[in-house]
């Protein structure tokens, strides 16, 4: 009979997926079932509320166990897909028990002793991890950074101005449930003629968002930081600087929530050291690993979340040189926030760690 790690998997590293029942965790189990299988046992961990639930990974049913110290016994790599405060408390526990932690939360991203890794951009950073923790960037940063990193490697980035169009699943399963509920509340009602129509239809069912998101756009994500900036906007700025190794890069970001279930989009204005050409930019984007150029407006071709959802790469379209600045490019970028924006990047980091052995 096969052991818990299944047939032919003995001797391979043990993986724990903490937060296996959440929005990111669910996509993580799909990704682990689709990628080359480097793991022995895969242990699924969530809160005590979910203990005993059975989830499918690699075609096998696995029972979820509650998050305890013992859940990390014998674990080589522990992926954390849980809220910040849970990761803050438990990632050091897992590391102390010998696991390398790959954390998807925001708890450790800006810690100087925790590398922030995007395997296509700064894979070398994964090796220096004095706390035994590697951080995965925020989904909005990740949705553009692979394309931006490829352009930076050739042209040298000097300034970034971006606006995001963020899907509700960026706020977890609660965000998805909220949009679904609001869609049913507003369906068939006369809306869009008076201020307050939508608010009245939705009532207090705004979920994790400050305003109704169905049939609306909300220029806010995260919590309030200094001078009117949102925490999400500060994350994109700080994380882009850290990943690209450009600590003084001028970055201005406006984060906006839109009624899309999954896949974040961004408009990007990137200014470089010297003059750029659209032809060379298109070549770089078309050949960069993990990036797809989809850019032929004459044929109606540009990425939209509906095209991109469920795929792995960053999709780039609308590549133009800035009208008034020959050193700057304009792009429209889409990336699945639950795949490359979260679970896929975490899986890639975990595979880099395993490949060191």
Ligand X SMILES: NC(=O)c1ccc[n+]([C@@H]2O[C@H](COP(=O)([O-])OP(=O)(O)OC[C@H]3O[C@@H](n4cnc5c(N)ncnc54)[C@H](OP(=O)(O)O)[C@@H]3O)[C@@H](O)[C@H]2O)c1
Q: Which residues are near ligand X by CB under 6 A?
A: 19-25, 46-47, 49-50, 67, 81-84, 86, 104-106, 139, 169-170, 172-173, 337-338, 341-342
- Min dist. Cβ of residue 173 to ligand X (A): 4
Binding site annotation covers 50? Answer: yes
- Cβ–Cβ < 8 Å for 173, 208: no
- Min dist. Cβ of residue 7 to ligand X (A): 28
- The Cα 350–Cα 32 span in angstroms is 11
Binding site annotation covers 241? Answer: no
Helix or strand run (H / E) with residue 274: none
Phi-psi region of 64 (alpha: psi -120 to 50; beta: other; left: phi over 0): beta
The SS3 call for residue 29 is helix
- The Cα 335–Cα 309 span in angstroms is 8
Binding site annotation covers 282? Answer: no
Tokens (6 digits) for 335: 């990336």
Nearer to ligand X, 82 or 349 (CB): 82
Binding site annotation covers 22? Answer: yes
Binding site annotation covers 109? Answer: yes
Nearer to ligand X, 147 or 343 (CB): 343
The SS3 call for residue 161 is strand
Any idea which residues carry the catalytic annotation? 139, 264
- Cβ–Cβ < 8 Å for 117, 126: yes
- Min dist. Cβ of residue 302 to ligand X (A): 23
Give the closest residue to 140 by CA, choosing from 350, 336, 343.
Answer: 336
Nearer to ligand X, 285 or 343 (CB): 343
Block residue for tokens 């770089």:
284
Give the closest residue to 236 by CA, choosing from 211, 267, 281.
Answer: 267
Nearer to ligand X, 6 or 341 (CB): 341
Which residues belong to the annotated binding site for phosphate?
109
Which residues belong to the annotated binding site for substrate?
166, 257
Which residues belong to the annotated binding site for NADP(+)?
21-24, 49-50, 169-170, 337
């Amino acid at each position: 009979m096969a052991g818990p790690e299944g047939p032919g998997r003995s001797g391979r590293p043990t993986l724990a997926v903490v937060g296996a029942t959440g929005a990111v965790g669910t996509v993580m189990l799909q990704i682990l079932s689709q990628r080359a299988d480097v793991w022995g046992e895969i242990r699924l961990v969530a809160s005590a509320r979910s203990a005993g639930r059975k989830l499918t990974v690699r075609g096998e049913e696995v029972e979820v166990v509650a998050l305890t110290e013992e859940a990390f016994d014998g674990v080589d790599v522990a992926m954390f897909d849980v809220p910040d405060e849970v990761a803050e408390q438990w990632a050091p526990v897992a590391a102390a028990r010998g696991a390398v932690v790959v954390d998807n939360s925001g708890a450790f991203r800006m810690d100087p002793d925790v590398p922030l890794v995007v395997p296509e951009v700064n894979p070398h950073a994964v090796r220096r991890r004095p706390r035994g923790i590697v951080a995965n960037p925020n989904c909005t940063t990740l949705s553009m950074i692979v394309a931006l990193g490829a352009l930076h490697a050739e042209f040298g980035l000097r300034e970034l101005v971006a606006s995001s169009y963020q899907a509700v699943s960026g706020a977890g399963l609660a965000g998805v449930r909220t949009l679904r509920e609001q869609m049913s509340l507003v369906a068939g009602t006369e809306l869009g003629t008076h201020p307050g129509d939508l608010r009245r239809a939705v009532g207090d069912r705004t979920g994790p968002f400050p305003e109704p998101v169905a049939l609306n756009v909300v220029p806010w994500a995260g919590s309030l930081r200094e001078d009117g900036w949102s925490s999400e906007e500060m994350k994109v700025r700080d994380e882009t600087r850290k990943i690209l190794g450009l600590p003084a890069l001028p970055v201005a970001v406006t984060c906006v929530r839109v009624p899309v279930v999954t896949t974040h989009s961004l408009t990007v204005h990137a200014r470089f050291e010297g003059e750029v050409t659209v032809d060379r930019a298109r070549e770089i984007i078309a050949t960069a690993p993990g990036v797809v150029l989809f850019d032929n407006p004459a044929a109606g071709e540009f990425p939209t979340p509906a095209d991109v959802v469920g795929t792995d790469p960053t999709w780039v379209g609308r590549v133009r040189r800035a009208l008034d600045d020959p050193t700057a490019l304009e792009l429209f970028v889409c990336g699945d926030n639950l795949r490359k924006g979260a679970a896929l990047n975490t899986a890639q980091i975990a595979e880099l760690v395993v490949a060191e052995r």
